[in-house]
Amino acid sequence: MNTDAQSRGARGRYRFREYHVTTVPDPMALPVYKALCVTGEEHNCGATSGTLHTTHELTRWIAGLCARTGHQHYEQTVRAVLRAEPGAWQ
């Protein structure tokens, strides 16, 4: 057994092809928005907006909670349905 060859490790060249995909929003499904209040020192406030359908609704919810509590830090989640449009192998 050639221990010198083992210590150097096997060498090889690998080539991978890439598959290019473009994603586009599905026009039949509207995105949804949620916010979570993450203000707090010991733990997050935890108030959530629930599912909203526009950024305007989300901003109004955040503004309302901020006005009532003074909380200023929020985590936003946006969910959208996308359609993949496959491209060619490269």
The stretch 50-62 carries a mean pLDDT of 96
9-18, 56-65, 72-81: least confident range: 9-18
| Per-residue confidence band for 4, with pLDDT thresholds at 50, 70 and 90 | low
Residue 11 has pLDDT above 80, yes or no: no
4: left (phi over 0), alpha (psi -120 to 50) or beta: alpha
d(CA 42, CA 38): 11
DSSP 88: E
The stretch 38-66 carries a mean pLDDT of 95
pTM across the whole model: 0.65
24 touches 83 (CB < 8 A)? yes
Residue 1 has pLDDT above 60, yes or no: no
pLDDT of residue 55: 94
d(CA 49, CA 51): 7
